[in-house]
Amino acid sequence: MIALEEILPNPVVRSIATIAIVALLVAVLVGFVRRTLIANIADNDLRYRAAKVASVIGNLVVVIVLLTQLGGRLSAFTVAIGAASAGIAFALQEVIASFAGWLAVALGGFYKVGDRVQLGGIKGDVIDIGLIRTTIMEIGGWVNGDLYNGRIVRVANSFVFKEPVFNYSGRFSFVWDEIVIPIRYGSDYDLAREVLGSVAREVVGRFVEPARREWVDLVKSYRIEDARVEPLVTMVANDNWVEFTMRYVVDHRERRIAKDQLFSRILRMIEESDGKLAMASATFHLVEAAPLKVSLESSARLRETRASGATADAERAPGGEARTRGESGGDGDSGP
């Protein structure tokens, strides 16, 4: 430190140089730890948490050095800081709100890394939570189903105060889903219900027990009913067919795959029912319009008829009647 005092006699410049050197050393050390030690951790969640801990420790060291070097000189800037605080708060209001949102997320348990959420109108998996923004791997959009579309979206943490936060995998990592099967009238409805129930138990029955355990824990924490997690098949008749609805619980990450397996198995069972079951469908037939023929001769006759009618109306008008009477009077005066 003596050499540094000789090179930089000004104490303020010396403090700034010390802070810069410490920050550089911390950045190099944290980067080395993350590349050599943390990168070799096989578990994704543990690797992410270890990298976060290393970054927090490095930032904490820099803050401690900053306060140590400038702590005795902050009193000289008290008046200037007080005068500029209002302008700074207005200019950084979104940043302050985002930092407050980070505190709410960290302490309130809104979501954590790995959860599937909808935040700020963006739906996807949380891959990082920063002081200002939450990073989300987006799903949906132009991609049908709950699949990644490749976009990484960074959403300000302040949205936790502005909009609802939808968490698909927080305390309960399952979702309820439904598929609708239209069955033709005249089919064996009891057999249809039995087939759908057996298919549901075969394909998504493995989710029932873990879903029940998580739901029991959820009931203990919140005022909610003890909902049914077993597959349920209901029936309703409409004007076109008999509609069977299958309701079931499924892991939020396997929703698309489970639906594909269910439909594949149901179609196979219907084909193997020897005509007792039949899928219903709506068929629309477009009827060809009758040809429209236009006759020019008929149109010309119609115009002539309208013209003769207009002439007759003009002759029956008051002026036309006087003209007729005058002509007939002249003929009378020419008598003997």
Tell me which of 226 and 304 has the higher pLDDT: 226
Which pLDDT value is given to residue 78?
Answer: 60
Place of tokens 């007792």: 276
- Classify residue 142 by its DSSP letter: T
> What distance in Å separates the CA atoms of residue 80 and residue 77, rounded to the nearest whole number?
5
Q: Is the pLDDT of residue 205 over 80?
A: yes
Judged against a pLDDT cut of 60, whether residue 28 lies above it is answered with yes
**End of a domain among 256, 271, 286?**
271
220 lies in some domain: yes
The domain that holds 161 is classified in CATH as 2.30.30.60
Look at residue 199 in the predicted model and tell me its pLDDT. 95
In this structure, are 69 and 105 located in the same domain? no
The pLDDT score that the predictor gives to residue 82 is 64
- Residue 59 confidence (pLDDT) above 70: yes
Residues 27/58, Cβ–Cβ less than 8 Å: yes
CA 33 – CA 18 distance, rounded (Å):
22
Give yes or no for residue 333 having a pLDDT over 50: no
Residue 12: the pLDDT is 62
pLDDT at 295: 58
Tens-place pLDDT, residues 233-265: 999 998 889 999 999 999 988 999 999 999 999
Mean pLDDT score of the chain: 80
What pLDDT is attached to residue 41?
76
Residues 184 and 130 in one domain: no
Domain membership of residue 310 (yes or no) is: no
Q: Is the pLDDT of residue 289 over 80?
A: no
The pLDDT assigned to 196 comes to 94
Confidence at 330, pLDDT banded by 50, 70, 90: very low
Asked if residue 179 belongs to a domain, the reply is yes
The 8-class DSSP code of residue 62 comes to H
| Over residues 65-88, mean pLDDT | 64
Tell me if 132 sits within 8 A of 102, measured CB to CB.
yes
pLDDT at 62: 79
pTM of the model: 0.64
Check whether 19 has a pLDDT greater than 80: no
Q: What is the tens place of the pLDDT at every residue in 90-103?
A: 677 888 889 899 99
Question: What SS3 string covers 197-218?
Answer: HHHHHHHHHHHHHHHHHHHHHH
- Residue pair 73/12 in contact (Cβ under 8 Å)? The answer is yes
DSSP letter string over 250-288? EETTSHHHHHHHHHHHHHHHHHTTTTS--B-------PP
**Is residue 85 a part of any domain in this protein?**
no
46 and 135 housed in the same domain: no
Whether the per-residue pLDDT at 327 is higher than 60: the answer is no
Tokens (6 digits) for 139: 């799903």
- Which residue range forms the structural domain that includes residue 30? 2-73
Do 139 and 155 fall within a single domain? yes
Report which listed range, 141-155, 182-196, 296-310, is most confident.
Answer: 182-196
Q: What is the number of domains present in the chain?
A: 3
CB-based contact 196:266 (threshold 8 Å): yes
Helices and strands, number each (H, E), in the chain: 11, 8
| 334 lies in some domain | no
